[in-house]
Amino acid sequence: MDYSYPFSIDWSTDEIVDVVTFFEGIEMAYEKGIKRGNLMARYRRFKEVVPSIAEEKTYFREFEEESGYASFPVIKEMKAKTDDEETIRMKK
């Protein structure tokens, strides 16, 4: 993993950590899977830090350019599932 995570210099250290934690959850969905409930909690915290849809799309795009992992399909899959114990596992 030789890439950086997108963040804003206006965020606090805790907010940066929370956003990085969210993007690590996206990575997990592609690499080994992540429980829906775990990812949902990370996404909710991400949305507290980045409430704007436009900003969300910008950070998702930046992350995909850096890492190759697309966030939107993971979030779509997460929202489609209903059981928090279900594992979200994406194909590259």
Q: Where do the domains of the chain lie?
A: 13-88
Q: Which residues contact 18 (CB under 8 A, 6 or more apart)?
A: 42, 45, 46, 48, 49
Q: What is the distance between the alpha carbons of residues 80 and 63, in angstroms, rounded to a whole number?
A: 22
pLDDT string in tens for the chain (92-residue length): 678 999 999 999 999 999 999 999 999 999 999 999 999 999 999 999 999 999 999 999 999 999 999 999 999 999 999 999 999 999 97
Give the predicted TM-score (pTM) of the model: 0.94
Structure token digits, residue 32? 């080994």
CATH code of 13-88, in short, is 1.10.220.80
Cα(85)–Cα(5) distance, rounded to whole angstroms? 27
